[in-house]
């Protein structure tokens, strides 16, 4: 409700100022926000194997990975696996209600755990804004 009021105020200001591009942008942003709020999270298929991890059919060898870390939030745990190279260097997996200790012990057999791993700024912003 607050987001809707805020978007309406911004659109109203854009109309008052005669900035129609701004009005269209605010409307598109508001629409995409409400569309994504209604969608449910997809379930992914993740296989941890002796030679690597298979995430929805995309295989990554443990040799191509650098380290991992776990971040715990109130309703889920997020596993981050950092790759050595490539454009997509981090594989982020929200583990729902799986026990983080089991995940940690399983992956420790293949990769070192990073103790100073933290959440990227953009991910924190997305989580806080509930986008």
Q: How confident is the model at residue 112 (pLDDT cuts 50, 70, 90)?
A: very high
In the structure, what pLDDT confidence band is assigned to residue 131 with cuts at 50, 70 and 90? low
Whole-number Å distance between alpha carbons of 26 and 11? 6
44-92 tens-digit pLDDT = 888 888 999 998 888 999 999 999 999 888 878 888 899 998 888 888 8
- pTM for the model stands at 0.63
Domains of the chain with CATH codes = 2-38 (no CATH), 46-129 (2.30.29)
Measured CA distances, 72 to 19, 38, 87, 97, 101 (Å): 43, 25, 26, 11, 11
């Amino acid at each position: 409700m607050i987001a809707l009021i805020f978007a309406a105020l911004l659109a109203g200001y854009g109309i008052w100022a005669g900035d129609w591009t701004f009005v269209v942008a605010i409307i598109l942003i508001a629409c995409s926000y409400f569309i994504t709020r209604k969608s449910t999270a997809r379930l992914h298929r993740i296989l941890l194997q002796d030679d690597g991890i298979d995430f929805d059919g995309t295989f990554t060898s443990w040799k191509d990975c650098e380290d991992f870390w776990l971040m715990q939030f109130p309703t889920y745990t997020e596993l981050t696996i950092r790759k050595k190279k490539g454009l997509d260097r981090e594989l982020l997996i929200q583990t729902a209600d799986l026990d983080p200790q089991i995940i940690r012990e399983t992956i420790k057999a293949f990769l070192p755990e990073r103790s100073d791993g933290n959440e990227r700024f953009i991910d924190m912003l997305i989580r806080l804004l509930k986008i």
